[in-house]
Structure 1
Amino acid sequence: MRIISLSVDGIHQAAQRGLFDWIASQDADIICLQDLRALEYELDDPVFHPEGYNAYFFDSGKQHHNGVAIYSRYQPKALIYGMGFSSGVDMDGRYLQADFDRLSVGSLLAPNAFDQPDPEQAQATKDAFFDDLQAHLNKITRKRRDYIFCGNWATTHNRQDVQDWENNQHSPGCLPHEQKWMDQLFTQLGYSDAFRRVIKDGDEYTWWPSNEVGRGDGRRVDYQVISSALRSRVEYGAIYKNQVFSSHLPVIMDYDIEL
């Protein structure tokens, strides 16, 4: 099974840059998109409903703000909107989950505190989101299901994931407590970074804050996070670099999983 994840900086812009033509060539089973910046009713055009896929959207209720999508060749048994956080931040077009027999696939857009008008408030919102997310992920480890969380986590795991560490180690997304949170996710909670199961090299980045993809300030903030039982099911991983659809690059993962 192939899953592709991409944060698109606006789905209309990404479509104009050829995203859906590229998707048609990838033979993916599931595609998770984030940061659509569109309302669902604005996505009626056939270009946003590629042949062979069931399309599901969760918008924020605000134009040009957040939004996530899942495209699946298989019809899910259920769709879950949000994670039930007490703060409600997850319902702001930030999380959509498709449930299959024993597998759940989520498309996640974490709050980003980088380059925000009120950085302190933005960081507080992000920290609260990740505290709630940690509690949720800990809770569902007791369920007899496998999970793949695809998305823009707006956070780097360690300095290997930051191209210019010296100048960015104190900026949002690279802060010590944020990287500690990712450490806890991959150690105490037992989840895994699917990409790092098969690719150990440095110089693998998915996002450029400057919007100049491939130039100088890359970070790896886009992950497919898998539950512990799927660790041995990862077969292939890549960050697609040959075509640019947004300030992020697509993450492509192949799993030994049948739906």
Structure 2
Amino acid sequence: MPPAKPLRVVSANVNGIRAAYRRGMGEWLAARDVDILAMQEVRATTEDVQALLGDEWDILHDPATAKGRAGVAIASRNRASIHRVELGAPDFDSAGRWLEADYEVGARVVTVVSAYVHSGEADTPKQVEKYRFLDAMEARLPQLAAHSELAVVVGDLNVGHRTLDIRNWKGNVKRAGFLPDERAYFDRFVGAEDADDYNRGAGLGWIDVGRRFAGEVDGPYSWWSWRGKAFDNDTGWRIDYQLATPALADAAVAYAIDRADAYDARWSDHAPVVVDYAI
């Protein structure tokens, strides 16, 4: 009997799914053999998402409170057994930014979270909201790991953890996305970069699958500004992650960032992060 096909989990900030489809997302998706597609910045209705992807996909969608903003979704070939959207204290508005779902894969259950962390802005209320979200995320991660040994938090987490994750890191040390306090959260999630056990189950025990596969190299980046020559010069940020529990990270057999071949072939300012897990 041939081995079971790995589970292909993709994270993609679509930067508005309707615009992404106009630019070619549908053709990319049709060719990529995806099992679970976690999306951020959907900025559309559930009906819009279903109509674009088609009836062969089961759609879970949590829109933002403000219409046309944020929004996270998970599309899958098999229906989720349960899903959850609550994060943080009851008075904290996480709508459109955190969506959990459990999927039966053979005899196992895999938990997938589509997350969209605030972009923030240093020394403003927007940064306060970002820290509130990261606090809630930090509190939730141990609960997720206790719930399922096969869990993965994917999405646009809007933080470059290390200098390897941003091409122009020296010019961004005082900007949201690379602030020391933001990066410290990732020290706790996966371990500090100068620790002997970095990304080996340190901190809260989560594994940065992308860094494990790429090694100690610049990037590979997942976001480039639409402006100027950022994409052509690969002046990017690695802010789209798949953070997995150790058991699921150990099952990862392939990792890729689907960077477009050319600027005019992009359907988002982010590139999809694709991981195959042999469950």
Query: Normalised by the size of structure 2, how large is the TM-score?
Result: 0.84
Aligned to 1:244, which of 262, 266, 272?
A: 266
What does the per-residue CA deviation read over 1:82-112, in whole Å, with 9 as the maximum and x for residues that have no partner?
335444232x211112112421111111111
Q: 1:40: how far off?
A: 2.4
Q: Note the 1:1-259 alignment, pairs <5 A.
A: 1-43=7-49, 46-49=51-54, 52-90=56-94, 92-101=95-104, 102-114=109-121, 120-186=124-190, 187-200=202-215, 201-211=217-227, 212-215=230-233, 217-242=235-260, 243-257=265-279
How far apart are the structure 2 equivalents of 1:178 and 1:209?
Answer: 21
128 and 97 in structure 1: CA distance in 2 versus 1, 3 angstrom threshold: same
Change (3 A) 1:43 1:240: closer
Q: Give structure 1 stretches of 5+ with no counterpart.
A: none
CA distance in 1, matches of 2:179, 2:153: 22
What is the CA distance between 1:74 and its match in structure 2?
A: 1.2
Partner Cα distance (1:84, 1:121) in 2: 18
CA distance in structure 1 between the aligned counterparts of 2:246 and 2:89, rounded to whole angstroms: 23
Q: How far does residue 42 in structure 1 lie from its aligned partner after superposition?
A: 4.0
1:206 is paired with a residue of what secondary structure? coil
Instruction: Report the AA paired with residue 259 of structure 2.
Output: K
Q: In the aligned structure 1, how far is the partner of 2:146 from the partner of 2:45?
A: 35
Gapped regions of structure 2 (runs ≥ 5): 1-6, 191-201
Deviation at 1:203, TM superposition (A): 3.5
Whether the aligned pair in 1 keeps the contact of 2:166 and 2:237 (CA below 8 Å) is: yes
| Aligned-residue CA RMSD (Å) | 1.9
Secondary structure of the 2:61 match is strand
Letter in 2 for 1:163: R
TM-score by length of 1: 0.90
Higher mean C-alpha deviation, range 144-153 or range 170-179? 144-153
What amino acid sits opposite 2:237 in the alignment?
A: R
Deviations 1:225-259 (A, max 9, x none): 101222211111111112411111111111112xx
- Rounded Cα–Cα distance in structure 2 between residues aligned with 1:84 and 1:127: 12
**Contact 1:8/1:36 (<8 A) preserved:** yes
**What is the CA–CA distance in structure 2 between the aligned matches of 1:123 and 1:37, rounded to whole Å?**
22
Percent identical among aligned pairs is 28
Secondary structure of residue in 2 paired with 1:36: coil
- Preserved CA contact (<8 Å) 1:34 1:152: yes
